[in-house]
Structures are given as C-alpha cells and as structure tokens.
C-alpha cells in the first residue's frame, strides 16, 4: 500500500480522528509518521498488526525520546508481507509518572525494548509482565537519557 | 529400589544456577539466570548491563564525526559496517553523494568484515560443542583479513576507516593484491570447514532439531540476520534496501527453513561463499577517483529524523537520528540486532538441556557490547 492508502485506511478506523489526536506527517522523515493520543495506542497497534491490508508484524525499532517538555516513545513498524513501513509516535507531558500501554502482547520483541526505555527514561508500560531495569543497577537513581538528568559522577561531560 | 521409594527419596525440584558473567560460552560478559530441573531448562533470564557505556548518551554530546568512532565499540566484529551505518545516515541527511570509488571500497571491506566475523563465529561454534580444531582453523584465516585491515585502515579490529563523506585515507597499494590472495586461499579452506564440522555426524546430532525457531516467532521477536534467515524469513537488508555498491553486484540471500541451530549454521557458511562472490565481482573494478568528498568541519544536520539500516554480520543494525538542526543529535538510537536476537533465547531453549543451550547460544552469535551499548 502507498502511504496515502495507509493514511486513508487508518483514518476510517476512528469514528472521530480528532478525538484520538490522529496526525499524519511525512515531513522531515523518509517514512510515514503517525502520532496518536496514548489512550488509543494499544487499540491502534492491534489493528495495525491484525488488519490484512496493513499487517505490520515486524516491530524493528522502539525508541524512547525526551523532547524537552514531553516524554515519548517512537515505534518503527514494518510489514514482512507488504514491505511497507510506518512510524507511530506517542508522547505525554507528565514527567513525574509517564505511562503508556505495553505492546509486548502484540510483538513479544517489545518486552526487552520497553524495559530499556523504562531503564533509561523512566517511562512505565502498563501491562508489561516484567518491568524492571535492563542495563543499569536496580538501585540506580534517575534515568540517564532524560535531558534533565544530572550526571553526578561526571561520566558523560556535557 | 521400587519406583515409589525413589520418588520419596529423590525429589525432583527446580533450582537456580548462574551461567556467566564469566562463562566462556556466553561470549563476553553476559549472565544467564537459569531455572533448571535436573538437566532440563525451565527458564532463561538474561541479566544485561555489565558493559553498558551509554553510547547513546555520549552521542548527544559528540559531533557526527566523533560518533562514528563510538560505533565500532558496539559490535566490534562488524566495526566497519557500524561506522558505515552512521556515515550513510549523515550523508543521506546532508544529501551528499559520495564517489563511486568510496562505495565499492566500503562494500568490499564490509564483506571482508562479514567473513572475518563468520570465521571467528565458526571457530568458536566448534569450540562450544567440543571441537577445538575449528577454533585454530577459523583464527588462521581471520588473521589474513586482519592483516589486510591493518595495512589499509591502520587497525585490526576497531578500524574507523569510514568518515562522513568517504574514507579516512585511500586504500594501500597492496590492497587489491592481498585481497585476491586471501580469496584464493579462503576458497580452498572453506571446503575444509565443511569436512571438519558441517558433515560431522556428532556435530549434526548436537545441532539438528535443537533450538527450533519458527518463522512466525522469528518475526514476532524481531529477529534479523542469520538467526531469522535460518527460519526462512527473508530479511537481508543488502537485498531489500541496498546501500553503497550492493546494487551493482548479484548474490543470493542465504535462506533455510528448518529454524534449528544447524540451519543457522548453514546460513552463515553460505553467507561466507556469497561474500567471497561479492568481493570477486568488485575487486577488479574499483573505480578511479577521490576517496572522499569534503564536508564542513562542523556537520549540522537539517532538522528532521533519519533512519538508516545496514546488514551487519549479526543482522539488521538501525541508526535513528533525531536532529534539531544543531551540531549534535537530539537523540541517537542504535537498533542493535543482538538485543532482539537475544530476547528469543528463552523461547527456543526452554525444555531443552543445558548443553543444547550452549549450542543454541553459539548459533545466535551474540556480541555483548552490541546489546549493552
């Protein structure tokens, strides 16, 4: 499917695309980008995976991002049968307790990747069976990849 | 003793055992927490982070030229390919066209790197299942490649030969001759590999039907590289998204459908033949020209997002750059093939024996710095 067809199909899944804050953009990226309200994330992801026309069955990259004010997650999805790619983005301005739905029940690979994002950004994933730090020691304070992280031991000099 | 007495006196119970972080079969500092019942594995939980250096955080501090040098400390056996991934991402973002000569040299060294990585893997694979000879065979052939790298790039492992815009320096005058010598030598040695391990009945019994991964699971767990291709999932980035000079060569994607350790083994053996063929197609046709194009001393990427994937010896490496227009990336993410490949280890080893776990680990071929980053 072309990006335009994917865009039109996804829009039909939502009765009110505005209420889900569904936004498409192809600007500044080689892929079709889609941002959505975190509340609808899991629903959208299940559809993207199971719908025969999209069948995005390969989650090849899951990235945590600190945008400065907001914390977000970026999902890179590919379909192994249609070979098209989409990028899904969610973000929240709640820096104290950022929570998104886990997608590890849809793509098991998300298990480790979500743990990595939790470890380095402190973003929690609702429904994750084993959400604990992946790389850092369990008693480590703070989340190193956040922009406001204070690097007390001075390991990475700014 | 009667069965009832045995059951009363010798209870089967689950217990934990640590494999690693200094276990030779874990190929680096990886700790596996095994839950076992006798010899049967009930659960495998990797404990990571022993060599986590936060390369992604360091990238936010560094310039794009500096970042290239961090990447060969990830998957050190694919260092040249890692460097290339960052360079390609930066060049695409700047819409910089590098000379044909650079593309061809990059691809030749990529494939030499792949052979070098696979020969090391092949040697260690034999050692993991108890055949020590393969280790010496593998290292003997790898040594020749390291010498070629040393002469042209100045280093044997972390080569740092790529820079955004081209190469650090031109190839050494001996490069073509020595690569040809190596290819001629290696083509007589690869059949020996088959004699020693591939056709060996003991080796086959250790690997056939062990650690079976279905194609569906390979996709669901985000597997890539020889691990996924051993399960029949066609995912070679060199085929699907060709980069550098790969669109000029013809080669077959190594695919097997059995999904067991032996299939993953065969994929890598076939890949070495394919790499030899790619190098043969290119080595006599290195175009004349410059080995780099000039870039600004301070590289600033336009605001936007850039994603570049390449095929390392382990699978798909993704470089994801979010730029806000400055001289450092706002966020730099490395999608390492090893982390996704490791995440399926529990799935394919549960129910097997500890010895099978070692054989399966060897065919997944992880490099721990690539996972920890």
Question: What integer is the mean pLDDT of B274-302?
Answer: 88
Q: Per the structure, how many domains does chain B have? A: 1
Question: What integer is the mean pLDDT of A115-129?
Answer: 90
Asked, for residue B34, whether it belongs to a domain, the answer is: no
Asked, for residue B205, whether it belongs to a domain, the answer is: yes
pLDDT of B356 reads 87
Do A109 and B343 make contact, defined as CB atoms within 8 angstroms?
A: yes
Residue A134 forms contact with B (CB below 8 Å) = yes
Q: Which of A105, A85, A94, A98 is nearest to A42 (CA)?
A: A105
Question: Under a CB-based contact definition with an 8 Å cutoff, are residues A38 and A12 in contact?
Answer: no
Six token digits for residue B63: 């310039």
Residues in B touching A144 (Cβ below 8 Å): 54, 57
Rounded distance between C-alpha atoms, residue B263 and residue B131, angstroms: 19
Strand order across the B31-37 sheet: B14-19, B31-37, B40-47
Six token digits for residue A67: 């945008």
Measured in angstroms, the CA of A64 and the nearest CA of chain B are apart by 9
Question: What integer is the mean pLDDT of B317-327?
Answer: 90
pLDDT of B179 reads 92
What's the pLDDT tens digit per position in B3-12? Answer: 666 666 666 6
pLDDT of B10 reads 64
pLDDT of A117 reads 92
Rounded distance between C-alpha atoms, residue B199 and residue A62, angstroms: 40
Q: Tell the burial category of B95 from Cβ atoms under 10 Å away from its Cβ (0-12, 13-18, 19+).
A: exposed
Rounded distance between C-alpha atoms, residue B74 and residue B350, angstroms: 28
Asked, for residue B46, whether it belongs to a domain, the answer is: no
pLDDT of A2 reads 79
**pLDDT level of residue B148 (50, 70, 90 thresholds):** very high
Asked, for residue B54, whether it belongs to a domain, the answer is: no
pLDDT of B38 reads 80
What's the pLDDT tens digit per position in B24-33? Answer: 666 778 888 8
User: Most B CBs within 10 Å: which of A86, A120, A134, A144, as the mutation test of the B interface?
Assistant: A134
Rounded distance between C-alpha atoms, residue B252 and residue B274, angstroms: 7
Residue spans per domain, chain A: 3-126
Q: Which of B309, B308, B317, B306 is nearest to B369 (CA)?
A: B317
Do B306 and A30 make contact, defined as CB atoms within 8 angstroms?
A: yes
Rounded distance between C-alpha atoms, residue A102 and residue B372, angstroms: 22
Do A137 and B322 make contact, defined as CB atoms within 8 angstroms?
A: no
Question: Under a CB-based contact definition with an 8 Å cutoff, are residues B216 and B208 in contact?
Answer: no
Do A113 and B339 make contact, defined as CB atoms within 8 angstroms?
A: yes
Closest residue on chain A to B57 (Cα): A145
Query: Is B1 a residue whose pLDDT tops 60?
Result: no
Q: What is the DSSP pairing of strand A85-92 with strand A32-35?
A: parallel
Asked, for residue B17, whether it belongs to a domain, the answer is: no
State the residue range of the domain holding B315.
64-372
Do B307 and A30 make contact, defined as CB atoms within 8 angstroms?
A: yes
Question: Under a CB-based contact definition with an 8 Å cutoff, are residues B37 and B14 in contact?
Answer: yes
Q: Which of B106, B164, B107, B159 is nearest to B306 (CA)?
A: B164
Cis geometry, peptide bond prior to residue B21 (ω within 30 degrees of 0): yes
pLDDT of B9 reads 66
Query: Is B184 a residue whose pLDDT tops 90?
Result: yes
Rounded distance between C-alpha atoms, residue B339 and residue B223, angstroms: 9
What's the pLDDT tens digit per position in B61-86? Answer: 888 988 998 888 888 888 999 999 99
What's the pLDDT tens digit per position in A65-104? Answer: 998 888 999 999 998 888 888 899 998 888 888 999 999 8
Chain B interface, Cβ < 8 Å to A: 48-49, 52, 54, 56-58, 61, 217, 219-222, 224, 233, 235, 240, 302-307, 309, 316, 318, 320, 322, 331, 333, 335, 339-340, 342-344, 347, 372
pLDDT of B362 reads 86
Classify domain A3-126 at the CATH topology level: Beta Polymerase; domain 2 (3.30.460)
When the pLDDT of each residue in chain B is averaged and rounded to a whole number, the result is 88
């Amino acid at each position: 499917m072309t990006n335009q067809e994917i865009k039109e199909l996804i829009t039909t899944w939502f009765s009110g695309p505005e209420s889900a804050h569904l936004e498409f953009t192809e600007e500044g990226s080689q892929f079709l980008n889609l941002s959505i309200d975190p509340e609808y994330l899991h629903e959208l992801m299940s559809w993207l995976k199971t719908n025969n026309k999209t069948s995005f069955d390969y989650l090849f990259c899951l990235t945590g991002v600190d945008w400065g004010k907001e914390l977000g997650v970026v999902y890179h999805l590919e379909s192994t049968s249609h070979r098209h790619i989409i990028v899904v983005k969610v973000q929240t301005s709640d820096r104290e307790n950022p929570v998104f739905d886990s997608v590890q029940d849809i793509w098991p690979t998300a298990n480790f990747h979500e743990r990595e994002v939790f470890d380095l950004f402190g973003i929690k994933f609702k429904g994750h069976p084993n959400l604990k730090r992946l790389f850092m020691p369990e008693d480590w304070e703070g989340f190193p990849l956040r922009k406001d992280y204070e690097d007390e031991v001075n390991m990475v000099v700014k | 003793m009667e069965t009832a007495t045995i059951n009363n006196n010798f209870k089967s119970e689950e217990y934990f055992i640590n494999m690693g972080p200094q276990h030779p079969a874990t190929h680096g500092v990886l700790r596996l927490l095994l839950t076992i019942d006798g010899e049967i594995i009930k659960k495998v939980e990797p404990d990571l982070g022993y060599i986590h250096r936060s390369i992604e955080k360091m990238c936010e501090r560094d310039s794009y030229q500096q970042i290239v040098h961090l990447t060969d400390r990830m998957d050190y056996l694919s260092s040249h390919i890692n460097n290339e991934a960052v360079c390609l991402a930066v060049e695409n973002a700047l819409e910089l066209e590098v000379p044909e000569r650079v593309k061809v040299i990059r691809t030749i060294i990529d494939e030499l790197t792949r052979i070098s990585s696979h020969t090391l893997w092949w040697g260690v694979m034999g050692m993991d299942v108890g055949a020590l000879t393969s280790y010496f065979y593998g290292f003997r052939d790898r040594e020749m490649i390291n010498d070629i790298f040393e002469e042209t790039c100045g280093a044997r492992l972390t080569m740092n030969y790529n820079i955004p815009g081209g190469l650090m320096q031109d190839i050494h005058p001996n490069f073509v001759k020595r690569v040809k010598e190596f290819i001629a030598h290696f083509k007589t040695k690869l059949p020996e590999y088959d004699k020693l391990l591939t056709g060996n009945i003991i080796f086959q019994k250790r690997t056939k039907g062990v650690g079976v991964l279905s194609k569906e699971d390979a996709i669901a767990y985000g597997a890539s590289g020889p691990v996924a291709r051993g399960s029949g999932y066609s995912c070679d980035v060199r085929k699907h998204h060709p980069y550098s000079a790969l669109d000029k060569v013809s080669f077959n994607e190594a695919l097997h459908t059995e999904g067991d350790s032996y299939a993953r083994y065969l994929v890598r053996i076939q890949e070495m033949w394919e790499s030899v063929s790619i190098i043969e197609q290119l080595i006599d046709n290195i175009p004349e020209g410059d080995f780099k194009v000039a870039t600004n001393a301070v590289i600033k990427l336009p605001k936007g997002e850039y994603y570049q994937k390449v095929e390392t010896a382990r699978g798909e490496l993704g470089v994801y750059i979010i730029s806000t227009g400055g001289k450092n990336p706002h966020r730099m993410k490395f999608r390492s093939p090893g982390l996704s490949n490791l995440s399926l280890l529990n799935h394919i080893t549960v129910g097997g024996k500890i010895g099978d776990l070692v054989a399966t680990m060897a065919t997944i071929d992880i490099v721990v710095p690539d996972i920890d980053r």
